Structures are given as C-alpha cells and as structure tokens.
Amino acid sequence: MASPILSVKNLNKRFAGIIATNDLSLDVMPLETHALIGPNGAGKTTLIAQLQGELAPDSGHIAFNGADITREPAHRRARLGIARSFQITSIFPGFTALANVALAAQARENHGFKFWTNAANDPALVAPARAALETIGLDHRADIVAEDLSHGERRQLELAMALAMRPSLLLLDEPMAGMGRQDGQRMTRILAGLKKDYAILIVEHDMDAVFALADRVSVLVAGAVIATGDPGAVRADPAVKAAYLGHKG
Amino acid sequence: MVDSALKPAETGFIARTLRESWPILVVLALLALAPTLSSALENPFLIRLFTRAVIFGMAAVALNFVLGFGGLVSLMHAGLAGIGAYTVAILAFHDYDGSKLFGVFAGTGNLAISIPLGMLLSAFGAALTGIVSLRTSGAYFIMITLAFNQMLYYFFVALQQYGGDDGLQILASLDLAGFDISKRATFFYVALAALTLELLFFARLVDSRFGVILRATAQNERRVIALGIPPLRYKLAAFAISGAAAGLAGALWATGQQFVSPSELSWVRSGDYIVMAVLGGMGRVWGPVLGAIVFVLLEAFLPSWTQFWQAPFGLVVILIVVFLKGGLIDLVGAKGPRAPGGGGH
C-alpha cells in the first residue's frame, strides 16, 4: 500500500479551554479526495489552519510526503506543495484576476528580489497564470480587477491561485461556500476534473458535492474524527447519523 | 482604473508612461521653468519656494512607496531624511574645521561621497528600526515609527558638538565631484534631476516582481504567506529603499539650505509628508509631488492672508480629500486604485 501524502497523528489544539482539535489522526493518500464533514464548530477550519501552518498545534505531528512539517512555517509548507483555499475568499482585490494568479506562479519561482523588470509582462509568470485560469474556466475574465468579479468567480479565482502554486495537496475549505446552486454545480465539475491530478482534503457542507467527489469521508465532531470510510459506509454509520447527518435530514 | 491594476503593458514602458503619467511630465517641465521665471521676475523667493517643493516632493515620494504601495503608515520619514541631512552637514563640519569624525574619518564637502553615505545610513536606520516596527501593524506600527522618529530627533538635539537644538550651519563649500552646485539655479536643476530619477526608479520598482509582492502584502498579507512568500523580508527591503530615498531628500535639503536643524526631524514634519502623499494621491508614484507643490504654495501664501493660516490650510486639505478620494491625481484624470497597493505608476 502506498504511503500517505499527508499524515496527521494525535493532533491537539485548545483555545482558552475550548478543545478545537482532540487527539486527531487522519491520512490523505496520494491523489485521494478526502472530504471532511461535521457540524459547525467541529474544528474543521482550525484543522485546515494547522495543516497549512497558520496555527501551531499544541501537540501531535503532521507529516507531508513522509517529512515532519509540524514546526515548518506556513510559507515553507506552501513551497513544499500544500495549497489552501480559504473559507472566506482570500484574494488580492486590487489586482486583475491574471495578476492574482501570476503572483501565485511567482511565489513558486522564489525570485521576489527583482527590482526593475515589469512583472505583468513576464511570460514566465503570465503563461502559467493563464494556464491555471483556463483549467478553472476563468480565462475570459483574466483582465478584470478581482473585486469586480462575482462571488462565484472569486471562489474560482482562489482555486486558480492554488493551482498556480503547483501543489501536490489542495486544502479546500468550503470551496462552494455562499454559492448558488448553479455556481456550486460548476465548482463541483471543476473539482471533479482536478481529482485525478491532486490529493485533495476538502471541507464541505454540500453533501451532494461531498458524495459526488470524495473517495473517502471523515466525520469530525468536537475536534475528533468519529468515523472514516468510503462515502456509502459513512452515510450508513449510526454514530454519524446521530451526530451530524440526522440533524440535517 | 482597470488599467492601473497590473494589466500587462502591451505598449512598453515609455508609451505607458506617456499615457498614464503625462501630468507629471507636464509638471516636471513646468518646474524646469522656475529658475527662468524667478530671474525674469527678479524674485529669488520663487526659486527657493520651488526648491522646497521639489525636495519635499522627493521625501513624500519616498514615503509613499511604503505608504501607498506597502500600506505602511510611517511617521519616521522626517527622521530618516534627517539622517541624510546630518550626514552631509557633519561631514562638511569636519571638512571645515579639519578635525576627524570619531577621531578617525576626515570630513568632506564632496557630495558624491556624503550623499551616498547619507542614503546608506538612512537605509540602515530604516532597516534596523524596521526589524522591530514591521512586526507590528496598524496603529502599533504608526506609534512605533513615531517613537523612533522622536528618538532620532532627540539624538540630534543631544549632539552638542554639532549645534544641538540650534542646528548646524554648513560653512565648508560643498561640491558634487568637483562641480560647483551652490548657485540657486544650478542646485534647483540638480534637485529636479534627482526627483525625476527617483520617480523613474520607483515607477519601475512598483511594477517589478518585488513591487508586486509589496502591493499584494498591503492588500492581503495572509494570502501572500499562504502562497509561499514570507512578507517580512520584502517589507524590510522596501522600508530600507524608502529610507534611502528619504535620506537623499534630506541630504539635498541640507545642501540647499547650507543648514540642518533638529526641527526638520520632528514628527510633525513626518505628518506633513503623509499629508502631501494623501493630498497628491497615493495611487501613483508621482502623486505626492503634486501634493508637495500644493502644500508648499499654501504654506507660503496663506500666511500673508491670515496669521491663522493653518485653518484655511486644513479646510483645503479636507475639501480635496473629501471630493477627490484619490487625491489631486484624480483631478488630472489619473484615477487612483480602490484598494491599497493596487495602483500602477
């Protein structure tokens, strides 16, 4: 059996007495789409933030491609190949869509101390940025300033930025959040197209999307994984039904 | 507005500058006429006025690189300019009386040595304080830079050997690698050339990879980190570059006045530079030049109208900021960006 691309062991995180992550262990296999579901406040975003490096866990270990990254700062994890999209859209509102993605491509190249050449004309940045926008289906909006994009388009843009980082693992925190049915379905189709090329850990409330995309599902309740398995088995699990799916009907 | 947001320049740097930044070319051309106008009207006050505008403009442009494009509200740029000014003045002091600085270094009146040294020391001062201040943000950053500004102010007040509170007269004759630039008109053209080069430098810088990272950090630092870019080193480099440019303005200020005084380093002057940048427009590299010209003109002519000239001055600033959200650059059709750091040159 292949070794996991991401391996989380006994992770703990408390905020002033609230247990956000409770002895959590989780694996994401190469090219697996692993969905993380759970009620509000279960600690899903806190977990994503610890995996990306924005938050430091109190104890436990995170390994990426076999190497311990528990103490690596966020920017280094990004360069190792972990890309996160945020629950609340996080882009550069004053740049065009293309410039947003070009900066992601630039981050990968690590040549930030260039002081004279115009970055917006640099084919080494623009070409991969256009390619990422095309993959996401946003290339026709490349020259639009990001703050003028629709909500759905901004979510797509954020995904394009993640792809331009050439990651091997995508951490997607509710990529369909706030989207209408049509935009949500488009996003599901886009993610279905990315599935074969990336390992994905996705937090999502839209159960149709989760069961359409995920190879495996983990259910998070009160900071702990209460069930992991293929979507069908998780759906049938009585503990899961009681804790989560049951409430949603 | 869209074209300022990092759109590829199909037409190249020169054509783009002509299209987007023609107002500053007109302003620089008009400024170049100041010495002629001054001598035609036999009014030496005019050339002193515009020399002041050009040098304040240089300092405000330096500040705006980190303010308008980096989102860093620095209240220590008067202090940074002061380092450059005192470098020129102290080296000239030792050149004049033949003594040695720290008992080791001979003084010099050659600006080709003292100005670059002043810029270097200003950059060093910016970098050293930036290591502390740039770890904070918002109001804390403003307060820390204010504190550093006052530390610089009192440092130079305490230098009794160099005049302390009273300031330091430059008695040695200054030259630029052998060229005499002491004539008012000559000095004005040197300052104007320095401003032009500074604008060119920052115009290229804000659109470079480095500049893009700085502008992105101003808009969304968390995102920059998530992309794999550690922002602190870029902010630090930007602050040092801004400090060097402020040091250049200060060094030229000292040269033009033949005098430096701690009063030019007070935090109120730092605030003036912010006013110039906001007044002119932070969305363009050259916006603060317009702000500096208006600032200097108001400061010169309002007092002849009323001794409470700060009141109408404040009113003008408020009106401009309320009705032209992007500053004076809006007036000449070069709209500023809606988000910090979104602008072009």
Look at B228 and A75 and tell me if their CB atoms are within 8 Å.
yes
Give the tens place of pLDDT for each residue, B271-296: 999 999 999 999 999 999 999 999 99
pLDDT (0 to 100) of residue B335:
55
Q: What does each C-alpha distance from B32 to A93, B11, B164 come to in angstroms?
A: 39, 28, 36
Look at A95 and B219 and tell me if their CB atoms are within 8 Å.
yes
For residue B15, the chain A residues in CB contact (below 8 A) are none
**Which chain A residue lies closest to B16 (C-alpha atoms)?**
A118
Is A56 an interface residue toward B (CB < 8 Å)? Answer: no
Band the pLDDT of A44: cuts 50, 70, 90.
very high
Q: Between chain A and chain B, how many beta carbons pairs sit less than 8 Å apart?
A: 138
As given in the structure block, the two tokens for residue A82 are: 């972990």
Is A28 an interface residue toward B (CB < 8 Å)? Answer: no
Look at B8 and A126 and tell me if their CB atoms are within 8 Å.
yes
As given in the structure block, the two tokens for residue B87 are: 């470098």
Q: How far apart are CA B331 and CA B320, in angstroms?
A: 10
Q: How far apart are CA A85 and CA A75, in angstroms?
A: 14
Most confident listed range (A61-70, A102-111, A176-185): A61-70
Domains annotated for chain B, with CATH where assigned, are 2-330 (1.10.3470)
For A196, other C-beta atoms within 10 Å of its C-beta total: 8
The residue among B90, B257, B84, B250 whose CA lies nearest residue B182 is: B257
B338, pLDDT greater than 80: no
Average pLDDT, rounded, for chain B? 90
Give the tens place of pLDDT for each residue, B120-131: 999 999 999 999
Look at B226 and A118 and tell me if their CB atoms are within 8 Å.
no
Work out whether strand A199-203 and strand A33-37 pair parallel, antiparallel, or are unpaired. parallel
For residue A125, the chain B residues in CB contact (below 8 A) are 209
B336, pLDDT greater than 50: no
CA atoms in the 13 A half-sphere facing the CB of A123: 0
Domains annotated for chain A, with CATH where assigned, are 1-81+167-249 (3.40.50.300), 92-166 (no CATH)
Look at B226 and A54 and tell me if their CB atoms are within 8 Å.
yes
Q: Which residues numbered 82-121 in A keep a CB inside 8 Å of some CB on B?
A: 83-84, 86, 90-96, 98-99, 102-104, 106-108, 111-121
For residue A99, the chain B residues in CB contact (below 8 A) are 5-7, 212
**Which chain B residue lies closest to A100 (C-alpha atoms)?**
B216
For B203, other C-beta atoms within 10 Å of its C-beta total: 21
Q: Which residues numbered 162-191 in A keep a CB inside 8 Å of some CB on B?
A: 165
Task: Report the gap between the CA of B196 and the closest CA in chain A (Å).
Answer: 16
Look at B213 and A112 and tell me if their CB atoms are within 8 Å.
yes
Look at A103 and B212 and tell me if their CB atoms are within 8 Å.
yes
Task: Report the gap between the CA of A188 and the closest CA in chain B (Å).
Answer: 23
DSSP character for A96? B
**Which chain A residue lies closest to B220 (C-alpha atoms)?**
A92
Q: How far apart are CA B230 and CA B207, in angstroms?
A: 19
The residue among B42, B40, B81, B60 whose CA lies nearest residue B293 is: B60
Residue A27, strand partner residues: A7
Residues in chain A, how many? 249
Give the tens place of pLDDT for each residue, B13-33: 888 888 888 899 999 999 999
For A19, other C-beta atoms within 10 Å of its C-beta total: 15
The residue among A124, A209, A117, A111 whose CA lies nearest residue A164 is: A124
**Residue % of chain B over a pLDDT of 70:** 93
The residue among B290, B329, B57, B297 whose CA lies nearest residue B192 is: B57
Look at B227 and A78 and tell me if their CB atoms are within 8 Å.
yes
The residue among A190, A166, A220 whose CA lies nearest residue A8 is: A220
Its pTM stands at 0.92
For B345, other C-beta atoms within 10 Å of its C-beta total: 24
B305, pLDDT greater than 90: no
Band the pLDDT of B97: cuts 50, 70, 90.
confident
Q: How far apart are CA B227 and CA A202, in angstroms?
A: 18
A110, pLDDT greater than 80: no
Mean predicted confidence (pLDDT) in B239-244: 98
**Which chain B residue lies closest to A160 (C-alpha atoms)?**
B227
Burial B28-62 (b: 16+ CB within 10 A, else e): beebeebbeebeeeeeeebbbbbbbbbbbbbbbbb
Look at A118 and B229 and tell me if their CB atoms are within 8 Å.
no
B344, pLDDT greater than 60: no
pLDDT (0 to 100) of residue A243:
74
Tokens 């330096």 found at: B62
What is the DSSP annotation of B159-219? -GGGTGGG-EE--SPPBBTTB---SHHHHHHHHHHHHHHHHHHHHHHHHBHHHHHHHHHHH
B340, pLDDT greater than 50: no
For A185, other C-beta atoms within 10 Å of its C-beta total: 16
For B339, other C-beta atoms within 10 Å of its C-beta total: 21
The residue among B342, B339, B340, B322 whose CA lies nearest residue B330 is: B322
Tokens 């620095």 found at: B74
As given in the structure block, the two tokens for residue B262 are: 């701690």
Is A124 an interface residue toward B (CB < 8 Å)? Answer: no
Exposed/middle/buried for residue B21 (C-beta within 10 Å: 0-12, 13-18, 19+): buried
Q: Which residues numbered 57-86 in A keep a CB inside 8 Å of some CB on B?
A: 73-76, 78-79, 83-84, 86
Q: How far apart are CA B287 and CA B289, in angstroms?
A: 5
Q: Order across the sheet with A59-64: list the strands.
A: A18-28, A6-15, A59-64, A67-68
* Region of poorest pLDDT, from A106-120, A157-171, B41-55: A106-120
Task: Report the gap between the CA of A234 and the closest CA in chain B (Å).
Answer: 32
B332 Cβ contact partners less than 8 Å away, ≥ 6 residues apart: B23, B290
**Which chain A residue lies closest to B1 (C-alpha atoms)?**
A145
Please write down the HEC assignment for all residues of A115-138.
Answer: CCCEHHHCHHHHHHHHHHHHHHCC
Identify the residue with better confidence: B71 or B7.
B71
Task: Report the gap between the CA of A209 and the closest CA in chain B (Å).
Answer: 25
Q: What does each C-alpha distance from B274 to A168, B263, B277 come to in angstroms?
A: 45, 17, 5
Q: Which of B200, B222, B223, B236 to mutate against chain A (most A CBs within 10 Å)?
A: B223
Q: Interior CA angle at A109 toward A105 and A113, to 5°? A: 110
B5, pLDDT greater than 80: no
Mean predicted confidence (pLDDT) in A225-246: 83
As given in the structure block, the two tokens for residue A63 are: 């390994």
Tokens 């005098």 found at: B259
**Which chain A residue lies closest to B10 (C-alpha atoms)?**
A121
Q: Are B85 and B118 in contact (CB under 8 A)?
A: yes
pLDDT (0 to 100) of residue B345:
46
DSSP character for A4? P
